[in-house]
Amino acid sequence: MGAKAAWVPGSCVIAGIGETAFTRDSGRSELSLATQAITSAVRDAGLNLQDVDGFISYRFDKTAWPGFLALNLGIQNITYWGESNGGGNATCATVAQAVAAINAGLARTIVVYRSMNGYSGRRLGQALNPEVWVGADENNEEYAMPFGLLAPVNVYALQAAEYMRRYGLTSEQLGWIAVVTRKRANENPAALMHDRPMSIDDHQASRMISTPLRMLDCCLETDNASAIVVTTAERARDLPSRPAVILGAAMGSASSSHGPISYAPLEPNMTDTASDWLAPRLYAQAGVKASDIDVAQIYDSFTIAVVAQLEAYGFCGKGEGGSFVEGGKRIDLGGDIPINTFGGQLSAGYVNGFSGVTEGVRQMRGTSTAQLPGAELCLVTGGMSTTTSAMILARP
């Protein structure tokens, strides 16, 4: 067996982004939403649809299948397509796969996208599956839902409960993540909660969903499609758009297992996450360290997920996430590590993490509604139960 081929930081870039509005009633199919987001992203990159020769997406539920998309966009001669399961855990895995496919010569310009009617269709937050008969698929819901584990919030609540027992995390500390994220949404006209300010008292008064997580610890559910165009840095030099350079993009699983989300509570220690194992490898791949990162888009399905990842990605020590976010200053603009500058999934909208990818590109282009002056490196992460993925973007 030979050594792994070398990862080349910056060999590929994100040349364009496109999104539909965050709504709760799109009135359209996932396929229709995807075609709009993709068309926008390709135009934003300064390319034509016929320049696209690959598609990659990921899913947990219904989505727009890559092959059918090519048909609906009138694109001939697709040379690469791929699809990951695992929901938000695969957010940045798709980008890693696009870079791998391009560098392997399987395609030249790959569209990566996620499309979901997350509110008007199947609401992942309400119950993993609304049917009577569950399971017998890769999500293993038959060992969760009949037993009363009904939705992702129950899994993250168990993680938060373990954090509280082990490290003294408090509900109010979690609340500061929601409050700071809402401030970013208040600055972003595209955010669903743009006009709705939130205080720490609002968080503490919000109703309990699954102890210790309250309503305002949970992300939104929205209809949306988001897309990016990945191509080589060399190709991008001829394009009019400003690209974001992909320094690192990695996938990883936890030490003990990499099961479905319903398996996560059965792990020996829920405060150990796949992100703990992925982060050092991602930084080594990109040739940077945590203290180099200027801004981060951290997968925030629930506030507790942000605590675990701030620790895993080295912005604070293990068990210190609660005190790190307390008061909000260190994750606010001007703080140690400003997070989720578009308003996050908590307050802007939810498309299984992909809005963190498009916001990461905006920060590197200098076009965010909460632009960090001089930002040169952005961390973007995917969901973080038993498997995860993340990437590091750079200003060109």
Q: Interface residues with other proteins (CB under 8 A)?
A: 121-122, 126-127, 129-136, 140-151, 153-154, 157-158, 161-162, 165, 207-213, 256-257, 259, 262-263, 265-266, 270
What is the C-alpha separation between 274 and 260, in angstroms, rounded?
12
Q: Of 155 and 391, which has the nearer Cβ to other proteins?
A: 155
CB of 312 to other proteins, least distance (A): 20
Going 308 to 309 to 314 to 316, the CA torsion angle's sign is: negative
| From 58, 113, 156, 350, the catalytic residue | 350
Give the E-state strand segments of 73-108 in sequence order: 80-84
Q: Has 163 been annotated as catalytic? A: no
350 is catalytic: yes
Token code pair at residue 251:
């996938």
Choice between 128 and 293, CB closer to other proteins: 128
Residue 352: CB minimum distance to other proteins, A: 18
Q: How far is the CB of 167 from other proteins (least distance, A)?
A: 14
> Minimum distance from CB of 351 to other proteins (Å)?
19
CB of 158 to other proteins, least distance (A): 5
Q: What is the DSSP letter of 218?
A: B
Q: Which residue has the tokens 């300010």?
A: 197
Give dist(CA 396, CA 394) in Å, integer.
6
Provide CB contacts within 8 A for 36, sequence distance 6+. 18, 20, 225
Structure tokens at 63: 């989505």
Gap between the Cα atoms of 176 and 209, Å rounded: 18
Catalytic: which of 80, 283, 299, 313? 299
In Å, the largest CA–CA distance within the chain is 58
Q: Report the SS3 class of residue 291.
A: helix
> CA–CA separation, 331 vs 340, rounded Å?
9
Residue for token pair 């392997």: 104
Cβ-proximal residues to 5 (8 Å cutoff; 6+ apart), any chain: none
Catalytically active residues are 299, 350
